[in-house]
């Protein structure tokens, strides 16, 4: 057909067109700020212009005089609510209007509500704050930061991974490198602006807001506002890009809800792009020291990874990617340590492959340096250090197809044509470089519920409180239902993104396909059981057929003998018009309260490094060609090839798109993205899409995705590994190694910019 | 079909009154001598409305809007056409792209009242009366040229503009002339493939 729809290989599903494609190309897909709301008033945020201190006075007279201004919510107005909590559902423990302390630049100090957007914006600019300000600590090495060990501060990193005697192995290693790497602050910048629309009907509150976690937010918002969770509803049918930014709820949601309650009208607050930089989460700035020691044969004997990460004053947000880097290769001995650096900044949060993107970048850039030090081909170096078992606890991998990925990607890329000598490949005025790196992402799964209804006409309705953030999860849930119930995909409708639906876990950590498909499969199988019992029962149309030998196909119940019964006839025999089943799925190893925790918005994650029987990861290998102009030093990426193995692929079209998008994210991390900070004022400088650089169409040329067949029955009943976050892990290191190959310059601090490459 | 729609709660009679002052105010908006304009001590507010008439997706609309209302906010908040998206409000992302008199325009950078008498086409105006998708829309479906779908209306309108301008001759041209439309999901290669397909189909037609 076309490149967007790769032909499925073994254990891969058809490249079905997204079931919501027509809605998305006709403008009919409703994102939360699109919902028509009668009598809505408009909110505009006012944010702090200092990073540390106190608000002593807010001058609001001019703002109140603006015609159309209805209300200004500020300090004191949230007194009857609980402060936000930091955790999986809450972005930060800072309640910006709960007291007058300023923890970071861009913190909310007021919300203006007016009849029109224009009046609200105008009034917001007229509010002036008087501050008692103190000099802030912006980032690493700023005076006044507090450094502490990260392990044990967050469930993200229970302890620092270690194995064997690192010091002895490091001392004895014949070949070693000891280098430092860094990654900058980055902001998700989904193209959809952040927004909250709050509507009260009596004591019932409805929130329209883009969310990756409607169930978690319902519970947390109810806690903050002292409401019964049953009276809170979060609706988020389509999400205009998330990448982690819409996972934890921010303080704004409750503030907008309070504003709506005070004026007795719905309030919509669409946050400006500039204000999103301070009021939403971001990827923490990180620094790394990596030590690798090996024998002359290239076998690694010592691996040390120390990390430092910036977070806010009160919240221990931990990136903690050493859990994965410590298990990547057959190291011999391992020593890791992660430190938190508390500064006067907003609390960071999850951003696409939160731990792995920065930590695996550092590891893989170091692996390339080590291959150079050993005089070894970088692919061969990884092959030699391929582990039988993970080195920390000696557990097996549930499946690991990394070498297959390297083989297929390197062949498609033409790695054998690479001349390993630095600076040896040229094309006119362009220096050509080629590099590669490993991608890894933990495979996790969480409890999930789903409801499936089948009617006599073969129509199926799937309901699940998961979230369509662009991954294609609606389509995949429909495919699963179509497959289990033997009907065409056009017969399936899928409802998601509403906290009144059966609860699903947060759409983060690449768990949605596995979790949602497992729950939908379970509900469909319960529908099948009912149909089969009726079909094969005494009065059923397949009365003589053994129950266990039945299947569903082409809108019929089919017996092994080839005899079949139309759905309508089975429904007639049952004397019902619809069969509806509600299923709760809990992964292997779940605690007895795992499902009740799901309803409470606190789903348990299983998999990754945490399971007893094995560690579970998806892997990939990425190869990049860069071209660097010999005069201007501009860097171009004409092609990138990635091969990925992620268990069962539900839909090769949506899988390819996600991996392709991920690799382009990786190119952005390598060459474009960085939120610059003014160290004197702890203030972000490039707070818009003009100055915060992301890849544009002209930055990207050929992107090839290879889906490597893999079967893994251990990970979950659906056999699915997530891949939404796999694609952008390692990419930046592959680009850095290609830049080194082209120029001989080893760039260790991202992003790689022209000024890094000028002699 | 041709009956004028009145939005923002204005009656036809109120519109007639308001339109007089709108005509008077219009030239000042584009005038380089706007500094000469007498300034009012009272800040502009929702009561200071101007009338503007335009055709949107072939339907006439008479609107009374705050002078500061962007074409984007007029479409979304006053006409109810929310297919056009706000991604930055600063002309930096392209999500709000519409066609004005057939040319692609960033609707967030255009005051609504600057569009007096103009023909606006949004993503909602592309499907044929029998429900058939525009070739660009169909190509976006065929090539999975989106993920979250939020930038998609802007990409599609911009693609139509790009093809009409004759800037879709090569893949490199398409990449260059579509670089004002950011896609954070990064469906770029699929967007280029979709535009190639639609370009060829439109040329054949």
Residues of B in Cβ contact (< 8 Å) with A653 = 144
Residue B42 is predicted with a pLDDT of 46
Of A114, A192, A703, the CB nearest to B150: A192
Residues of B in Cβ contact (< 8 Å) with A699 = 179
**Ramachandran angles phi, psi of A522, nearest 5°:** -65, -40
Q: Is B165 on the interface with A (CB under 8 A)?
A: no
pLDDT higher than 90, residue A46: yes
pLDDT digits (tens, 9 = 90+) for A685-714: 999 999 999 999 999 999 999 999 999 999
Measure the CA angle with vertex A618, ends A379 and A400; round to 5°.
Answer: 60
Candidates A320, A350, A315, A309; CA nearest to A104 is A315
Q: Is B125 on the interface with A (CB under 8 A)?
A: no
**Could you tell me what percent of chain A has a pLDDT over 70?**
99
77-116 of B, contacting A, C-beta below 8 A: 77, 80-90, 92-93, 95
What's the rounded mean pLDDT across residues A130-158?
96
pLDDT higher than 50, residue B34: no
CA dist B190 and A1 (Å) reads: 13
Active site residues of A: 725
Of B47, B153, B183, the CB nearest to A27: B153
Name the pLDDT band for A486 (thresholds 50, 70, 90).
Answer: very high
Q: Is B12 on the interface with A (CB under 8 A)?
A: no
Residue B33 is predicted with a pLDDT of 32
Residue B31 is predicted with a pLDDT of 32
pLDDT higher than 50, residue A340: yes
pLDDT higher than 80, residue A388: yes
Q: Computed from CA positions of residues A43, A49, A52, A57, in that sequence, does the dihedral angle turn out positive or negative? A: negative
Residue A561 is predicted with a pLDDT of 87
Chain A: residue whose CA lies nearest to B140: A25
Domains in chain A and their CATH numbers? 1-9+355-360+375-443+608-759 (3.30.365.10), 32-136+239-276 (3.90.1170.50), 445-607 (3.30.365.10)
pLDDT digits (tens, 9 = 90+) for A737-748: 999 999 999 999
pLDDT digits (tens, 9 = 90+) for A663-693: 999 999 999 999 999 999 999 999 999 999 9
Residues of A in Cβ contact (< 8 Å) with B96 = none
For residue A386, what are the contacts with CB-CB under 8 A and spacing of at least 6? A329, A330, A402, A403
Residues of B in Cβ contact (< 8 Å) with A664 = 186, 188
Asked if A696 lies within 8 A of B142 by C-beta distance, the reply is: no
CA dist A300 and A382 (Å) reads: 10
Residue A156 is predicted with a pLDDT of 86
Candidates A418, A364, A415; CA nearest to A623 is A415
C-alpha distances out from residue A3 to A410, A437, A522, A657, B137, Å: 20, 24, 33, 10, 18
Asked if A25 lies within 8 A of B45 by C-beta distance, the reply is: no
For chain B, which residues make up each domain, given as ranges?
5-30+48-125, 135-204
pLDDT digits (tens, 9 = 90+) for B131-160: 999 999 999 999 999 999 999 999 999 999
CA dist A43 and A119 (Å) reads: 9
Name the pLDDT band for B47 (thresholds 50, 70, 90).
Answer: low
Residue A181 is predicted with a pLDDT of 98
Asked if A30 lies within 8 A of B174 by C-beta distance, the reply is: no
pLDDT higher than 60, residue B29: no
Q: Could you tell me where the DSSP H helices lie in A133-284? A: 166-172, 214-225, 252-263, 273-279
pLDDT digits (tens, 9 = 90+) for A441-480: 999 999 999 999 999 999 999 999 999 999 999 999 999 9
Residue A543 is predicted with a pLDDT of 87
Strand partners, A186: A283
Residue A546 is predicted with a pLDDT of 65
CA dist A381 and A364 (Å) reads: 11
**Average pLDDT over all residues of chain A:** 97
Name the pLDDT band for B46 (thresholds 50, 70, 90).
Answer: low
pLDDT higher than 80, residue B10: no
Asked if B148 lies within 8 A of A658 by C-beta distance, the reply is: no
For residue A547, what are the contacts with CB-CB under 8 A and spacing of at least 6? A532, A533, A536
What would the two tokens of residue A576 be?
């019902």
Residues of A in Cβ contact (< 8 Å) with B86 = 33, 193, 270
Residue A485 is predicted with a pLDDT of 98
pLDDT higher than 80, residue B22: no
Evaluate whether B4 touches B60 at the Cβ level (below 8 Å).
yes
Domain B5-30+48-125 has CATH 1.10.10.10: no
Candidates A645, A649, A625; CA nearest to A635 is A625
CA dist A576 and A750 (Å) reads: 62
Q: Smallest CA–CA separation between B27 and chain A, in Å?
A: 22
For domain B135-204, the CATH class is mainly alpha
Name the pLDDT band for A88 (thresholds 50, 70, 90).
Answer: confident
CA dist A135 and A143 (Å) reads: 9
Residue A79 is predicted with a pLDDT of 97
CA dist A300 and A306 (Å) reads: 17
Name the pLDDT band for B2 (thresholds 50, 70, 90).
Answer: very low
pLDDT higher than 60, residue B37: no
Candidates A319, A249, A240, A256; CA nearest to A280 is A249
pLDDT higher than 90, residue B16: no
Mutate to test the interface with B, among A66, A187, A191, A725 (most CBs of B within 10 A): A191
Measure the CA angle with vertex A602, ends A597 and A606; round to 5°.
Answer: 90
Q: Is B170 on the interface with A (CB under 8 A)?
A: no
Q: Which of A21-25, A129-133, A454-458, B32-36 has the lowest mean pLDDT?
A: B32-36
Mutate to test the interface with B, among A68, A70, A467, A697 (most CBs of B within 10 A): A697
Residue B11 is predicted with a pLDDT of 35
Mutate to test the interface with A, among B113, B129, B147, B180 (most CBs of A within 10 A): B147
pLDDT higher than 50, residue A310: yes
CA dist A254 and A240 (Å) reads: 21
pLDDT higher than 60, residue B40: no
Residue A364 is predicted with a pLDDT of 98
Residue B169 is predicted with a pLDDT of 98
For residue A539, what are the contacts with CB-CB under 8 A and spacing of at least 6? A573
Chain B: residue whose CA lies nearest to A27: B83
Asked if A657 lies within 8 A of B190 by C-beta distance, the reply is: yes
Candidates A477, A486, A483; CA nearest to A514 is A477
């Amino acid at each position: 057909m076309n490149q967007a729809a790769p032909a499925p290989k073994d254990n891969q599903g058809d490249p079905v067109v997204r079931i919501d494609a027509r809605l998305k190309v006709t403008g009919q897909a409703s994102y939360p700020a699109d919902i028509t709301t009668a009598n809505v008033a408009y909110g505009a945020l006012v944010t702090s212009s200092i990073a540390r201190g106190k608000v002593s006075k807010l001058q609001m007279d001019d703002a109140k005089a603006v015609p159309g201004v209805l209300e200004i919510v500020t300090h004191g107005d949230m007194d009857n609510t609980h402060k936000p909590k930091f955790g999986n559902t809450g972005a930060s423990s800072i309640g910006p209007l709960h007291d007058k302390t300023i923890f970071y630049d861009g913190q909310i100090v007021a919300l203006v509500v007016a009849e029109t957007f224009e009046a609200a914006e105008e009034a917001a600019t007229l509010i002036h704050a008087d501050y008692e300000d103190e000099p802030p600590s912006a980032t690493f090495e700023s005076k006044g930061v507090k450094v502490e060990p990260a392990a044990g501060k967050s469930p993200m990193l229970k302890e620092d991974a270690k194995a064997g005697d690192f010091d002895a192995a490091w001392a004895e290693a014949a070949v070693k490198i000891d280098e430092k790497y860094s990654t900058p602050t980055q902001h998700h910048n989904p193209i959809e602006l952040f927004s909250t629309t709050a509507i009260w009907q009596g004591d019932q509150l409805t929130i329209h807001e883009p969310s990756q976690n409607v169930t978690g937010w319902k519970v947390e918002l109810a806690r903050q506002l002292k409401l019964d969770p049953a009276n809170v509803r979060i609706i988020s049918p389509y999400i205009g890009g998330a990448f982690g930014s819409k996972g934890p709820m921010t303080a704004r949601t409750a503030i907008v809800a309070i504003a709506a309650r005070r004026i007795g009208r719905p309030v919509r607050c669409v946050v400006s792009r500039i204000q999103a930089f301070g009021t939403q989460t971001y990827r923490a700035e990180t620094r790394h020291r990596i030590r690798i020691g090996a024998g002359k044969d290239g076998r690694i004997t010592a691996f040390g990874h120390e990390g430092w990460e910036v977070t806010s004053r009160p919240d221990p947000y931990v990136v903690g990617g050493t859990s994965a880097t410590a298990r990547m290769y057959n190291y011999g001995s391992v020593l890791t340590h992660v430190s938190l650096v508390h500064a006067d900044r907003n609390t960071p949060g999850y951003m696409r492959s939160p731990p792995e993107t920065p930590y695996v970048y550092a590891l893989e850039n170091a692996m390339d340096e080590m291959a150079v030090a050993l005089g070894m081909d970088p692919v061969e170096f990884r092959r030699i250090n391929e582990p039988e078992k993970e080195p920390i606890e000696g557990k097996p991998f549930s499946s690991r197809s990394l070498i297959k990925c390297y083989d297929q990607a390197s062949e498609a890329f033409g790695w054998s044509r690479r001349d390993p000598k630095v600076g040896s490949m040229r094309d006119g005025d362009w220096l050509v470089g080629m590099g590669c790196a490993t991608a890894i992402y933990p495979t996790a799964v969480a409890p999930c519920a789903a409801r499936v209804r089948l009617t006599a006409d073969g129509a199926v309705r799937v309901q699940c409180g998961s979230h369509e953030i662009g991954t294609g999860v609606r389509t995949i849930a429909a495919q699963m239902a179509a497959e289990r119930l033997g009907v065409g995909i056009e017969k399936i409708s899928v409802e998601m993104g509403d906290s009144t639906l059966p609860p699903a876990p947060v759409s983060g950590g690449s768990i949605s396909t596995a979790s949602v498909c497992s729950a939908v499969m379970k509900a469909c199988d319960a529908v099948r059981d009912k149909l089969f019992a009726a079909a094969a029962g005494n009065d059923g149309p397949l009365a003589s057929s053994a129950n266990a030998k039945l299947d569903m196909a082409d809108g019929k119940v089919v017996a092994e003998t080839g005899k079949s019964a139309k759905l309508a006839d089975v429904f007639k025999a049952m004397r019902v018009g619809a069969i509806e089943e509600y299923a709760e799925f809990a992964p292997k190893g779940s605690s007895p309260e795992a499902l009740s925790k799901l309803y409470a918005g606190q789903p348990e994650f299983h998999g990754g490094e945490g399971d007893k029987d094995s560690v579970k990861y998806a892997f990939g290998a990425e190869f990049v060609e860069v071209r660097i102009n010999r005069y201007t030093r501009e860097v171009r990426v004409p092609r990138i090839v990635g091969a990925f193995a992620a268990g069962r692929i539900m839909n090769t079209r949506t899988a390819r798109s996600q991996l392709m998008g991920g690799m382009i994210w990786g190119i952005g991390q390598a060459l474009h993205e960085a939120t610059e900070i003014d160290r004197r004022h702890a203030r972000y400088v490039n707070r818009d899409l003009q100055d915060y650089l992301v890849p544009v169409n002209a930055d990207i040329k050929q992107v090839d995705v290879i889906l490597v067949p893999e079967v893994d029955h251990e990970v979950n009943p659906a056999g699915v590994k997530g891949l939404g976050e796999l694609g952008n892990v390692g990419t930046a290191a592959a680009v850095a190694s290609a830049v080194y190959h082209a120029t001989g310059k080893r760039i260790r601090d991202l992003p790689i910019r022209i000024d890094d490459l000028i002699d | 079909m041709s009956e004028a729609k009145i939005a923002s709660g204005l009656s036809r009679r109120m519109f007639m009154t308001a339109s007089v002052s709108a005509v008077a105010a219009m030239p000042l908006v584009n005038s380089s001598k706007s500094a000469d304009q007498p300034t009012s001590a009272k800040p502009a507010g929702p009561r200071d409305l101007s009338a503007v008439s335009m055709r949107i997706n072939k339907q006439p609309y008479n609107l009374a809007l705050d002078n500061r209302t962007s074409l984007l906010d007029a479409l979304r908040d006053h006409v109810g056409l929310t297919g056009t998206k706000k991604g930055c409000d600063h002309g930096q992302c392209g999500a709000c792209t519409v066609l004005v008199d057939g040319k692609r325009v960033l609707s967030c950078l255009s005051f609504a009242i600057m569009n007096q008498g103009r023909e606006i086409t949004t993503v909602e105006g592309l499907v044929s009366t029998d429900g058939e998708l525009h070739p660009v829309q169909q190509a976006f479906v065929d090539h999975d040229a989106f993920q979250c779908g939020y930038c998609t209306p802007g990409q599609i309108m911009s693609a139509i503009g790009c093809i009409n301008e004759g800037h879709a001759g090569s893949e490199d041209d398409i990449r260059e002339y579509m670089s004002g439309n950011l896609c954070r999901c990064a469906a770029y290669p699929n967007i280029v493939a979709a535009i190639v397909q639609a370009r060829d189909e439109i040329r054949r037609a």
